[in-house]
Amino acid sequence: MTSTLRRPMPRPVARKPGGAAAARAVLAVAAIAGFGGAALALPAVQSKAAELSRTPYQATLSNTCNGKSCVLDSVLIQANRRLEIHHLSCAFLINNSNTYLLVRTGVAAANNTLKDNLGFHNVKTQPFTTGWTMFTVGEPVFMFVPGNRKLRISAVAGSGTLQSYGCFISGELVRLQPS
């Protein structure tokens, strides 16, 4: 069951054209800053008024890794779209029982150049068989991947070899009005 906070509607005020979109963009940046700045600031053209539709989005991302580091990219988000990620879950298996793992998300361009760092994630150690360590990430997030970009998840082990790697992301794919 969800509850909705209702506020009284303010009286209409005359504004300059384009002012509402700019105000929504400033509010979006302020809301994002409350999440540690771990997201992209959205330009005014991507404000709520420019949204044409929202579709639930889920993807399983997996990779077989060799070595201490592993990179996994999502599919490229189409132009005039924005992926809003609300939850991230990952699992990593390392053949060392005494190590650590760093997990970072970012936004990459089509040519694989990292464009923005979205943040580091809380990694938990799970009991596993002798000589191995299982690390997991499972947390709500508030991240945006704009059109012509893709989500990048990177993992780096302190020692040992990353043997397997998988992540699940969920959120919404937003179709935007072409600018």
Is the per-residue pLDDT at 174 higher than 50? yes
58 backbone dihedrals φ, ψ, rounded to 5°: -140, 140
Would you place residue 178 in the very low, low, confident or very high pLDDT band (cuts 50, 70, 90)? confident
The pair of three-digit structure tokens given for residue 127, joined into one six-digit string: 């009991």
- Looking up tokens 């650590």, which residue turns up? 100
**Closest by CA position to 40, among listed 101, 85, 92:** 85
pLDDT tens sequence across 105-151:
999 999 988 888 888 898 988 777 778 888 999 999 999 999 999 99
At residue 71, the pLDDT reads 86
168 in Cβ contact with 138 (< 8 Å): no
Cα–Cα distance for residue pair 155/52, rounded to 1 Å: 35
Task: Give the residue with greater pLDDT, 18 vs 118.
Answer: 118
At residue 48, the pLDDT reads 53
52-176 CATH choice from 2.60.120.1330, 3.40.800.20, 3.40.640.10, 3.90.470.20: 2.60.120.1330
Q: How far is CA 126 from CA 70, 106, 133, in A?
A: 19, 25, 7
Q: Domain ranges in the chain?
A: 52-176
pLDDT tens sequence across 71-92:
888 999 999 999 999 999 999 8
Mean pLDDT rounded to a whole number for the chain:
76
Is the per-residue pLDDT at 32 higher than 90? no
Cα–Cα distance for residue pair 134/125, rounded to 1 Å: 6
- Looking up tokens 């504004």, which residue turns up? 15
